[in-house]
Amino acid sequence: MNRNYLFSILSLLIFSFGSAQNYKKPLVSAIKEADLKKDMYEMAADQFWGREAGTLDELKASMWLADKAKEAGMKPAGDNGTFFQFFDMYRHQVTPQSTLTINGNSLKLWKDYLVAEPVNASIDADVIYAGTTEPEELSKLNIKGKVLAINASAKNISKEMTLFVRRYPGFIRTKYYAKAFELGVKAIIFVTDDISDQSWVEVLPQMTRGSYGVEGLREKITNNIPVLWIKKENADWVKNNPKVSLNLITETYKYPSVNIIGKIEGTDPSLKSEYVLLSGHQDHDGIRHPVKNDTIYNGADDNASTCVAMLAMARAYKKQPGKRSILFVFHGAEERGLLGSRWHAAHPVVPKEKIVAVLNGDMIGRNDNNEAALLGGNAPHKNSDELVKMAEDANNESTKFKYLKDWDSPSHAEYFYFRSDHLPYAKIGIPAIFFTSVLHDQYHTPQDESENINYKKLYKMMEWMYRTSWKVANEAERPKVLSNFSLER
């Protein structure tokens, strides 16, 4: 044999041994599609009535999850030796005692007019009816100290977002609010157009519910100007510059919600004090207006899909632990504004510096079997090169998803990166990524049920998350945060 050739072979072998992973392969065989399906049909069943945050239904689902976590092999990691980390969520709501009169005519709250968000306000002022004036033209009007009445207009508003009709009133508010506030408007009354007329029945329950926050992280409800809606058939109420008397009264109620937290300890004497946090949210939308004669918003894909995947991953980690420990956090009240993850990020059950990465899943059980999105995988949302590389390597090794990179773009209509439970952790400097199979036409409808889950896709997404977490749990070096990471949209 040629001497140089022999030297090359020996060098290659030495390099291969030196660079090979010094840990076992992930135990994917321990995860069964049948287990995912069984758990899904239980968690997303009508028995939990949609698992709305702050209700007994969410707490009942939490008990079910805690039992399943224990059965899967997790140890309690919540408060006082339990699986539960309770927190108080605060609901700010406009009261029935609120009043609105226009030209001396008393209007009925939630029938004649809607209040877009709960604010305290006492206003006696003239109405300035601006018709179809666009925001950039408002400065030409004498509206300081007045109530601005304006027709909703879809001009310059992208219609690409899922559930566009439901979200449309929010886009209208965003379109006008900053300019109106800058010009000293006391309140805004929007007159519906055809699109917002359609949305009335859908946004009514949302507006009557009010807004939500958590103590110490609560949104202020007193600094905003009131935003009201009336129907286009009643546009004459605000024409000819009538006088308005508005008295909005808000009340705040406290409800319990809870994060379910378990752990499986690592095997390495020094690394087991560090944690890979696997994240998903347990709550959904509860009982709402009927769609196709169904009122229970079961939330199978959103987000029982990740919860059952986390249970499956726990079973694999129980049979074969990694070097680092795994912290499983089933967040409560995500649908109310990421409340559970915001609470845990502010009050982690393990030291913040011991959380090496957050792998969050949300909606991982639908759409094409070969496509998925890794949010936080690209600039400007990427906050760790090493963590993203681990996820990409895990994908290349097995699942081989084609990336839907446009969903991670700051210009994407859905702003999806900002809408799930990885966000509070990324904000406090922890490497974080978000696995998702993205939205579908049954998103936030009662038709998001167990029978409509693509279980092959759910298994693949779960496998991708598991393989990634296995790398994070076993690599010698933990992923680092990029020094120039920014969360600006």
What is d(CA 302, CA 232) in angstroms, rounded to the nearest whole number? 35
Give the pLDDT means over successive 10-residue stretches in the chain (489 positions): 48 45 92 97 98 96 98 98 96 96 96 95 97 96 97 92 94 96 97 97 92 73 84 96 96 94 98 98 95 96 98 98 98 97 98 98 98 97 98 98 96 94 97 98 97 98 98 97 82
What is d(CA 421, CA 309) in angstroms, rounded to the nearest whole number? 16
Show me where the domains of the chain are located: 22-91+255-474, 96-248
pTM score, whole prediction: 0.92
Q: Which CATH superfamily is domain 22-91+255-474 in?
A: Zn peptidases (3.40.630.10)
Alpha-carbon distances of 328 from 64, 109, 264, 370, 397, rounded to whole Å: 15, 43, 8, 27, 24
For residue range 253-290, what is the model confidence (pLDDT) as tens digits? 999 999 999 999 999 999 999 999 999 999 999 999 89
Q: Are the C-beta atoms of residues 151 and 128 closer than 8 Å to each other? A: no
Structure tokens at 356: 């090496």
DSSP 369-391: TTEEEEETSSTTT---HHHHHHH
Q: Are the C-beta atoms of residues 345 and 427 closer than 8 Å to each other? A: yes
Please identify, in words, the CATH class of the domain defined by 96-248: alpha beta
For residue range 177-217, what is the model confidence (pLDDT) as tens digits? 999 999 999 999 999 999 999 999 999 999 999 999 997 66
For residue range 363-413, what is the model confidence (pLDDT) as tens digits? 999 999 999 999 999 999 999 999 999 999 999 999 999 999 999 999 998
Structure tokens at 442: 């049954």
